[in-house]
Amino acid sequence: MTTIYDLAKAPERLTGGHRLCSGCGAPICVRQILANIKEPVIAINATGCLEVSTSVYPYSAWNIPWIHSAFENAAATASGIVEAYNVLKRQGKISREIKFVVFGGDGSSYDIGLQSLSGALERGHKFLYVCYNNEAYANTGDQRSGATPTGAATTTTPPGKISFGKKQKRKNLTEIVAAHDIPFAAQTSIHLWTDVASKIQKAMAAEGPSFINILSPCQLFWGFPPNLTIKIARLAVETGLWPLYEIENGKYKINYTPAKFLPVGDWIKSQVRFKHLLLPENQSIIERIQKQADEEWKKLKNKVEATNK
């Protein structure tokens, strides 16, 4: 079992001094994940906030082999690297165990690169795909993505007299990935390092591709003070809007159940992107979001019961 002491001793694979915003969830996510991988590791990074802010020429914040791919093909790039490694291993040119991790934001993972991700999962290449999920196209100015939740204001879903922000529910990428019958898929959050550690260990041990969807709050476009990043991540879980669960070899498991679910209104009040929902005329939207959260939790519990009989 990983301890906080183990993480403190882990090599610094992503350094400070990058250009990511103060309070950004992405570097917290990356450092936690890489600290929990014992073996040498190669990172493949889709275009996004993480990539542009950690690799401003001629500098790099990465202390490991790292390759940048376009929005749409990070998983395909990883597939090629993994298979090249397998060939070299069979030829006796490489003997040590090397792990491979893809980092993609929700714009790349939910939308632009979904076909590439799906193809790689179907083919069964052995790597971990991590979606650092900040629920919008933050790198290009905060446009809505498939991960943007109902009611959120973005530059392409502005609230006003005829709109309350994004109208649609967010896409359930974790379930889409699970439909590929891969050995391990999970949702986690940067605020709970023990949950992250457990899931990384399972992902690394999986005989095939694995996937982790990790909530990484964006203080700039969600609209909260940068010192509250961890609190905001925790609030998403405590309201039931971001369940922590895993699917291991087809079996669902809920990793954390709040002692008492907080109302989704607490989450909405914590961020500027939802401030328009606090107007009296938008009360029904908050009720809709609460209903969505309640229904999704019920569905998840049913899947746990169905797959663990």
Render pLDDT for 49-95 as a digit per residue (tens, 0 to 9). Answer: 999 999 999 999 999 999 999 999 999 999 999 999 999 999 999 99
For the chain, how many structural domains are there in total? 1
- CATH code for the domain of 249: 3.40.50.970
pLDDT tens-place string over residues 23-52:
999 999 999 999 999 999 999 999 999 999
Residue 205 banded pLDDT, cuts 50, 70, 90:
very high
pLDDT at 8: 83
Q: Strand 251-254 and strand 245-248: pairing?
A: antiparallel
Token reading at 195: 């949950």
37 burial class (0-12, 13-18, 19+ CB within 10 angstroms)? Answer: buried
Distance CA(134)–CA(160), nearest Å, equals 23
Residues in the chain: 309
Q: Which range of residues forms the domain containing residue 115?
A: 4-307
Instruction: Please measure the distance between the N-terminal and C-terminal CA atoms of the chain and give it in whole angstroms.
Output: 27
pLDDT at 201: 96
175 burial class (0-12, 13-18, 19+ CB within 10 angstroms)? Answer: middle
pLDDT tens-place string over residues 214-266:
999 999 999 999 999 999 999 999 999 999 999 999 999 999 999 999 999 99
The percentage of residues in the chain with a pLDDT greater than 90, rounded to a whole number, is: 95
What is the overall mean pLDDT for the chain? 97
pLDDT at 5 over 90: no
